[in-house]
Structure 1
Amino acid sequence: MKKMIFILSLILFVSCGENEKKEKTTDKAENTEKPTEEIKTSLSELRNQTGSYKIIKLANKDLGTEEILLEFDGDSQKISGNLGCNDFVSAFKLTEDRVKFDPPIGTKMFCEGKMKNEESLGEILPKITRAKINEEELVFLSKDNEVLLSLEKTEQSE
Structure 2
Amino acid sequence: MKSLFSIFLVFFLSKGCSQEQFISDVKISYGANSRGFHRTIQIENKTFSVINTRDGKPEVVELSDEQWNQLGKLYSKIDLKTFNDLEGPTMERAYDGKAHANLSIQNKDKTYTTKGFDHTIPPAKIKEFVDYINKLADDSVVKNPVLGSYSVEELLSNDVSKKEYFISFDAEKVSGFMGCNMYSGMYKLQNESISFGPMMSTRKYCENAMENEALWFKASTEVASFKMENKTILLYNNENKLILKATKK
Could you say which TM-score interval applies, normalised by the shorter chain?
0.5 to 0.7
Identity of aligned pairs, percent?
26
Instruction: Work out whether 1:55 is the aligned partner of 2:152.
Output: yes
Q: Tell me the SS of whatever aligns to 1:127.
A: coil
1:66-124 per-position Cα deviation (integer Å, ceiling 9, x unaligned) = 22222222x22x21122221110021112464211112111111111111121011111
Instruction: For residue 125 of structure 1, report the CA deviation from its aligned partner.
Output: 0.6
Q: 1:95 to 1:50 in 2, by over 3 A?
A: closer
State the superposition RMSD in angstroms.
Answer: 1.7
Corresponding position of 2:162: 65
Work out whether 1:82 is the aligned partner of 2:177. yes
Tell me if 1:128 matches 2:212.
no
Find runs of 4+ consecutive structure 1 residues off by over 6 angstroms: none
1:100 is the counterpart of 2:195:
yes
CA contact (8 A) 2:192 2:227 kept: no
Mark the runs of 5 or more structure 1 residues left unpaired by the alignment.
Answer: 1-43
Larger radius of gyration: 1
CA distance in 2, matches of 1:92, 1:147: 18
- Hey, what's the Cα distance between the residues in 2 that align with 1:134 and 1:88? 25
* TM value normalised by structure 1: 0.62
TM-score by length of 2: 0.41
5+ residue gaps in structure 2?
A: 1-141
Mapped to 2, the partners of 1:95 and 1:137 lie a distance apart of: 18
Selected match of 1:112 from 194, 207, 210? 207
Tell me the CA shift for residue 49 of structure 1. 2.9
- Counterpart for residue 148 of structure 1: 243
SS at 1:124 equivalent = helix
Separation of aligned partners in 1, 2:201 and 2:243: 20
Q: Which structure is richer in relative contact order (CA contacts within 8 A, separation 6 or more)?
A: 1
Q: What is the count of residue pairs matched by the alignment?
A: 108
